[in-house]
Structure 1
Amino acid sequence: MQARVLNIDELLKDEFKSILSFDHFITFLKERIAQESSGKKSFFLFVLEKFESNAALHGQIDPHTLDQFKEELTLLYTLLVSPLADERLTYWSLALPMSPILFYGTDALFDLMQQEQCRTVRDAFSTEENKHKKPEIAYSLIMERLYGFDPLGKNSFVRPLTDKKTGLPKYYRVHIDNRFVKLTHKVELPTLNFERIRENLTADTTWELLYDVLPLKNFIFEGFSIITITDVTIEQSLEDIKTIIINHTSYEDESYHLLLKQSLKNLIGNPNISLTLLPLMKVNNKLVFDFQNIHGSIIVDLMMKKQLGNEKILELAQMYLDKPMLLFSGAEESFNPEKFKLITDIKETGTLSYAILPITFNKQTVGIIEMSSPLENMINENVLARLETASPLIAQFLKNFSDTVNSKIESIIKDKFTPLQPSVQWKFNEVAWEYLRNSRANEPKPEIGVIRFENVNPLYGAIDIRNSTLERNRALSDDLKVQFGLLIQTLESLGSTVHLTLVNGIIFKCQNMLASLETELIDDLQVRMKDFLEIEVDSFLQHFRQSNVKTREIIALYDQATDALTGEAFANRRSLELSLQTINTSINSYLECLSQEMWDTYPCYFEKFRTDGVEYDIYIGQSIAPDQPYDSLFLKNIRLQQLSAMAGIAKLTRSLLPQMSVAMHTTQLIYINANAIDISFRNDERRFDVEGTYNIRYQIIKKRIDKVHVKQTGERLTQPDKIALVYFNQRDAEEYRDYIHYLQGQHILNNEVEELELEELQGVNGLKALRVGVVY
């Protein structure tokens, strides 16, 4: 024990009067003795006699004179600290009330306070940390003693200290006991507005408000404070982990994992151990790994290095999942070394300490913690025991991770495969709730409600790939010519080996079909040729694939050439499909951005359909977003966005031509519908459709205008490098002329605009169109 004065923050100037005195402690002892009947009473009497008999311990005391009262101070320590506490490990001291001046304490605490980097207790008192924040402990005591109001109880702090040996933070809780402090005030106490104080409890202005009405200079603190410092590294690390998990949405994925791993390292207190969390996720009840995003896993890196392949790695992981256990390098006898031989191979990576700890959530293994170190004997029972305290939190993290992945999968499914978009989700929620509310146990299920949106304005657009059908037929025809040529060569080689007349008969059929490709339409031929190749020819060749090695080698070359993924007999179709895929992927990405841009302006419903190109419907109106005021200006804005986007798509697909092995051009079509319509969700088709006889006309027109011709010339309305806008109402045409004029000024559209009358369609007449070129 040491009796000496130590000011742990010389920069801090007390704004109030702090007096060292033992009078309040002596009064406390007298009250306890009067109430005490146990064996403690005699000890209390002994301590009281020592303090009362020494006149120098009464009244105000100079802390620099306390070294002459070591016997009394030792008794005070014995009285306040458990006799079983190890003084060498106990951080305890006495201080002037509400002051950073220590005058008596354990060697451990004085040593800790004099560490150069230690600001543990200093932070608890310092006002430099926040110039606008007054000492909370002082105000907490004032509110409690003088007003009977102490909602925060500010008498302890947790502060970090970097450990010199490990370089890791250690956390200490500083507890300040003020029960032996007497509080007096120099002026009359003002009346406080406790409602206002409560409202500001969590704000930084709480103590500033009190400081304005209760200046600390008006108070006297007499007695002494007791400071106890406790190492709470484990508890604080667990609390940090809990906070990180709860607030995971506040972090980026990468920083989230790094913070969690750092907190785990702080928990185990060993900087030489690396930790990796491996969540075990399942899709369709099968184990999956995101191999690209598994970083720092020794076991996974080893398996990849051994070129085991993804399937084998998943097989081994499933084997471990079937019987999860703690695997510990250096303790191979705890598991079957043949079954888990990889653990014994870990040392090849330079890892001398290694362990795998399974983590369970509701009795299901949700992941593992992997621990590794390049040093020997780093992972021991103490490390595992500390990590075990965090296993429930880690289990929650891994479960959250798995749930997040599943939620993302569901979100993708909703976004990519079903029409359940955020703009209409609320309506589905309402109907689903009504269905749930009306459902009764042991009763027939009620009818599900109808999802309907009335009086919405539709916008339709179509991007078509010109001559895609002709290109498909051409590619198929060219590939079939290659295949029949190879087949004839194969059969001729086969005929010279097996000497069967039947071979010549099949060759004759092949030659006839090859010749017909030059004279007949592929549409009429492809079914007949497909049956011939897959039924007659393949069954014939199958016999010789199995009969002997020589014929199998002859046929193998044909089989290789007719492989759909790599063979030359599918080369033209693959090139065409790749070109089509390039165009459609680019268009879809562009439309995704367009839909988000439109939705940011006003909620609307955006639905795409895959054809030889892409078609889409957009619906906008008050019924889709009943909580947001709707105005016709939103419709005008979205029409301009659509026209501008069609020009952008035309430019985009034109720029893709150098990348395509088969040059494909696109046409752009917009249908302008003058009136609002009603739509409803069709459960059988899982999509929205128009409702009512009048509205069906809109759907009919959409389906028929893609191949409409110009009345004056007979040419197709849709042409590459141009946007066609079909309409009935001249007023709508004038509105779009304004948009076209604006985009011409932006050098997006050409200056020439064609006005066209269109041929009559079945049940539809009076159609007109505007057509304008795109500036490249």
Structure 2
Amino acid sequence: MNFNQFKDSPFIIKISFNKVLEALEKIAASDVDYRSNYAKALIEKCKPFPELRDGVSTMEQINENEVLINHLLADLFPTALTNNEIKAVTVPFLNITFNYTERFKKIMNEAGSDFDFYIRDFDQHQFYIMSCSLILNAYYNQHFDFSKPLFYDIPDAQGIMKHYRIMYNADFLEIIPTEKAVKLTQEDIDMLIDNFDNVELWKEKFPMESWILKGFGIVLLFDATAENAVSNLKSDLLKVNGDENNFNESIQRIFRSIFKIPDLRIGFTSFIQEEIKFNHMPNKKQVNSFILSGNLEMKCQNAVNSVVFKTLIEEKKRVAISDVKKFSEAPENEKFGCHLLAQDIQSCILAPIVKDDKILGIIELVSSMPKELNSLNANKLDTVMPFIIDTIERYDSDFQNKIEVVIQHEYTTIHPSVYWKFQKEARKFILEENSNPDYIFKEIVFKDVYPLYGQIDIKESSDTRNKAAQTDIKNQLNSLIHIVEALHAEFKLDILEQRKFELEGFFKEMFSSLKADTEQQIQRYIETEIHPVLKKHDTSDSVKTLIEDYFGEIDEVTGAFYQERKKFDKTLTTINKKMSLLLDSKQKEAQAIFPHYFERFNTDGVEHNLYIGNSIAPQANFDLNYLYNMRLWQLQVLAEMEREHYALKSSLPYQLEVTSLILVFSSPITIRFRMDEKRFDVDGSYNARYEVVKKRIDKALEKGSAKRITEKGKITIVYSHNHEKSEYKKYIEYLQFQKVLEPTVEYLDVEDLQGVSGLKAIRVKVILDKDKDAKKS
């Protein structure tokens, strides 16, 4: 049998007890009678087995001489320490062990007969280099510190993975060269020092089986489970990426090792200071929250009882519940205790994660066994808490950065096309703030840029919103009239008849136009005069059901019926979101053509501003063809947005129509970033004309008519000069050819606006149903 578990080795291995026998021979020659006699007797017993001195080559020989070997090594394996030390005979770095202490045997038995001992993260390459390093140190008198911490990972009887640090004693080993051994020079040794990864070089200097490793080593294991688990926890917590499930399992396994609890589960609940709320971990490595269970978020006082809340949140101290069942017997603990028991939690530790006196969240350790987690072993958290705090703080910081990105994107974005200029000014400020504390930011200005403005507007949105509000109020009043009628039938009180009369008066008022303060008056009346009546009387079950159903319909925020307005809000939000996503997607494609400034606004529809010119992208060569390209792009995108809305419309609660508008402005303008408003605006009195037209044009009328220039399903292009008309006629003809626009084109004069006259418009209908149009043709 070959002792090598690795196929390549510089050693021929011979397990020999020659050095032990030599030591016994010295004792036998001494004057200490009992020691001398014992040594002579042992040497005599070994004489029939010369292989014990010359070298054992099979495990069968070791097993046959197990008792004799045990006697030979008695001084190295004292009986008094056999239940304490984890020790055995071995060959360094190899899976060859025998002559175990009782504690080592116990560990092996608990691991099971199928378990094999392998050094963690130790491969053929490392084995070969470390074996060669043994030769360099022992034979060539070098002093290479080649060792790294080596570990065995061994499960105990409960399945908890324990970690043992490996220490070797090589005092009883001899290293002998064979005829195949290469004699090394100092130059060879220096070359090897600088080439750890070049295994072929090491094999050249130490050919396979060119040396004899004779003797034996002693392996001593130390239980380093806690320290190793903390180290592994630190490594795992630093992993930002990776599979979420593996991450959770890894962390849970590590905590089980630390607490020695096989069924221990880990949870985490985030804490929102501003709202005193618990919520789920805002990270892709999301772990369970036992406090929240199936809820996404909850007010802290509703999630836990008052004592736990005070300890965790106000005092920032951990809570240990060793027996949840017993804990829940107290009336004030019943709700939270039952919440834990429903998740098979019989004992638990809840610990706030605090950084700079700010709570980041709660780490939860739970077990299905009572008493397993308690106030004593809760102290083990002190060892790992610094790493948990740093990790959660890092995740929290990353999440806050994401929030900032969303806020910038949705509310106050600095567009990437102009970001370089803000960076330039910010760099100047940072470099000069120490030497020049009075440094004043220079204004961010872009000259000679061409503006493009467009919008897709939701038609009659204000009227529809008012109608939805009227419907909600009527439904609420109608519901209250029925309830008051039922109460009057039951209690026969005249005041209830009067309340019904007043409610009916408000109901009739709802059939006229909704005034600005009507809703507030009605809600104030309902809250002060009607709601107290509903809550006061002890009614029959049927009336109680009516009242409960009514309050179930009340919106928490407004205190009123809000169903129809919710439908309208959902419709508006869905349209805006769909249009915005399409516009943003197309915008990415347009940026690749030529960098330009772009901003989008969501109101009752979607508006966009676009500015293109050399000052925004000085590294690119701007010419007017890029402007023309952007104008065609804008027309195409608005047509696509019209189509998108048409496809979406039938699935929405409200069938809202949209109109589209483009404003053409051919003169270059200057835009300036206004620090007070944190946005770009046109600069100068001449340029202000563009801004005036832009703000008033969507309400403009056809000249000599009461009709607006915008119509549903059509794009209206407003312009000032004939050359703009000619330009857009070409774009329209091209898109008609592409089956995007219908053949009919309308040319309009625009009613004079305040301070602006002479505007004209082109209006063209979009082919909304491509399939229907294809069938026609």
Instruction: Please say whether Structure 1 and Structure 2 have the same fold, judged by a TM-score greater than 0.5.
Output: yes
1:273 aligned residue (260, 264, 277): 264
2:770 aligned with 1:773: no
1:461 aligned residue (447, 454, 463): 454
Report deviation, 1:609.
2.1
Counterpart of 2:82 in structure 1 is 87
Check 1:27–1:646 CA distance in 2 against 1; reply closer, same or farther (3 A cut). farther
Report deviation, 1:451.
3.3
Q: What letter is aligned with 1:361?
A: V
Check 1:289–1:665 CA distance in 2 against 1; reply closer, same or farther (3 A cut). same
Counterpart of 2:7 in structure 1 is 12
Report deviation, 1:774.
3.0
Counterpart of 1:216 in structure 2 is 207
Indicate conservation of the 8 Å contact 1:9/1:126, yes or no.
no
Counterpart of 2:607 in structure 1 is 615
2:303 aligned with 1:313: yes
After superposition, what is the alpha-carbon deviation per residue over 1:611-654, rounded to whole angstroms, capped at 9, x for unaligned? 33221123466766778998999878766664444233212322
Check 1:126–1:282 CA distance in 2 against 1; reply closer, same or farther (3 A cut). same
After superposition, what is the alpha-carbon deviation per residue over 1:70-111, rounded to whole angstroms, capped at 9, x for unaligned? 666444x37xxxx89943353434444665555765465577
2:386 aligned with 1:395: no
Q: Distance in 2 between matches of 1:151 and 1:421?
A: 57
Q: Distance in 2 between matches of 1:695 and 1:338?
A: 72
1:685 aligned residue (669, 672, 677): 677
Q: What letter is aligned with 1:87?
A: T
Report deviation, 1:414.
2.3
Counterpart of 1:699 in structure 2 is 691
Report deviation, 1:548.
13
- Tell me, what secondary structure is at the counterpart of 1:276? strand
Counterpart of 1:646 in structure 2 is 638
Check 1:599–1:58 CA distance in 2 against 1; reply closer, same or farther (3 A cut). farther
Q: Distance in 2 between matches of 1:436 and 1:135?
A: 54
- The aligned runs of 1:69-468 (5 Å cut-off) are 73-75=73-75, 77=76, 86-96=81-91, 100-102=95-97, 106=101, 109=104, 116-121=113-118, 127=124, 135-141=128-134, 153-163=146-156, 165-176=157-168, 182=175, 185-188=181-184, 206-208=197-199, 210-211=201-202, 214=205, 216-217=207-208, 219-220=210-211, 222-224=213-215, 225-247=217-239, 249-251=240-242, 256-283=247-274, 286-290=276-280, 297-301=289-293, 312-313=302-303, 316=306, 318-320=309-311, 321-323=313-315, 324-330=317-323, 340-342=333-335, 345=338, 349=342, 351=344, 353-362=346-355, 364-379=358-373, 383-421=377-415, 424=418, 427-439=421-433, 446-453=439-446, 458-468=451-461
Check 1:735–1:140 CA distance in 2 against 1; reply closer, same or farther (3 A cut). farther
Report deviation, 1:242.
0.9
Indicate conservation of the 8 Å contact 1:172/1:230, yes or no.
yes
Check 1:207–1:573 CA distance in 2 against 1; reply closer, same or farther (3 A cut). closer
- The aligned runs of 1:48-63 (5 Å cut-off) are 61-62=55-56
Indicate conservation of the 8 Å contact 2:120/2:151, yes or no.
no
Report deviation, 1:688.
1.6
Indicate conservation of the 8 Å contact 2:642/2:766, yes or no.
no
Check 1:95–1:671 CA distance in 2 against 1; reply closer, same or farther (3 A cut). same
Report deviation, 1:189.
5.2
Note the aligned Cα RMSD (angstroms): 6.1
Check 1:701–1:275 CA distance in 2 against 1; reply closer, same or farther (3 A cut). same
Counterpart of 2:715 in structure 1 is 723
Report deviation, 1:361.
3.1
Indicate conservation of the 8 Å contact 1:16/1:216, yes or no.
no
Report deviation, 1:592.
4.7
- Tell me, what secondary structure is at the counterpart of 2:208? helix
Q: Distance in 2 between matches of 1:193 and 1:724?
A: 84
Report deviation, 1:346.
6.5
- The aligned runs of 1:589-628 (5 Å cut-off) are 589-595=581-587, 605-619=597-611
TM-score by length of 2: 0.69
Indicate conservation of the 8 Å contact 2:256/2:262, yes or no.
yes
Report deviation, 1:682.
1.2
Indicate conservation of the 8 Å contact 1:19/1:222, yes or no.
yes
- Tell me, what secondary structure is at the counterpart of 2:655? coil
Check 1:126–1:243 CA distance in 2 against 1; reply closer, same or farther (3 A cut). closer
Indicate conservation of the 8 Å contact 2:129/2:202, yes or no.
no
Q: What letter is aligned with 1:414?
A: Q
Q: Distance in 2 between matches of 1:510 and 1:125?
A: 83
Q: Distance in 1 between matches of 2:478 and 2:354?
A: 62
Check 1:116–1:59 CA distance in 2 against 1; reply closer, same or farther (3 A cut). closer
Q: What letter is aligned with 2:201?
A: L
Q: What letter is aligned with 1:233?
A: T
Counterpart of 2:542 in structure 1 is none
Report deviation, 1:669.
2.4
Q: What letter is aligned with 1:90?
A: E
Check 1:62–1:470 CA distance in 2 against 1; reply closer, same or farther (3 A cut). closer
- The aligned runs of 1:756-767 (5 Å cut-off) are 756=747, 758-759=749-750, 762-763=755-756, 765=758
Indicate conservation of the 8 Å contact 2:749/2:759, yes or no.
yes
Report deviation, 1:664.
1.7
Q: Distance in 2 between matches of 1:455 and 1:465?
A: 33
After superposition, what is the alpha-carbon deviation per residue over 1:436-462, rounded to whole angstroms, capped at 9, x for unaligned? 554469x97543343344565544320
Report deviation, 1:702.
2.9
Indicate conservation of the 8 Å contact 1:669/1:706, yes or no.
yes
- Tell me, what secondary structure is at the counterpart of 2:413? coil
Q: Distance in 1 between matches of 2:438 and 2:21?
A: 78
Q: Distance in 1 between matches of 2:141 and 2:451?
A: 67
TM-score by length of 1: 0.70
Q: What letter is aligned with 2:182?
A: K
Check 1:435–1:535 CA distance in 2 against 1; reply closer, same or farther (3 A cut). same
Q: What letter is aligned with 2:270?
A: P
- Tell me, what secondary structure is at the counterpart of 1:173? strand
Q: What letter is aligned with 2:262?
A: P
Report deviation, 1:567.
6.3
After superposition, what is the alpha-carbon deviation per residue over 1:318-364, rounded to whole angstroms, capped at 9, x for unaligned? 43322334332349999995654556657853847312232443455
Check 1:94–1:253 CA distance in 2 against 1; reply closer, same or farther (3 A cut). closer
Gaps of 5+ in 2: 24-34, 540-545, 770-777
Q: Distance in 1 between matches of 2:416 and 2:80?
A: 62
Check 1:478–1:207 CA distance in 2 against 1; reply closer, same or farther (3 A cut). closer
Check 1:526–1:146 CA distance in 2 against 1; reply closer, same or farther (3 A cut). farther
Check 1:136–1:731 CA distance in 2 against 1; reply closer, same or farther (3 A cut). farther
Counterpart of 1:34 in structure 2 is none
Q: Distance in 2 between matches of 1:375 and 1:175?
A: 36
Q: What letter is aligned with 1:771?
A: V
- Tell me, what secondary structure is at the counterpart of 2:150? strand
Q: Distance in 2 between matches of 1:348 and 1:439?
A: 59
Indicate conservation of the 8 Å contact 1:23/1:58, yes or no.
yes
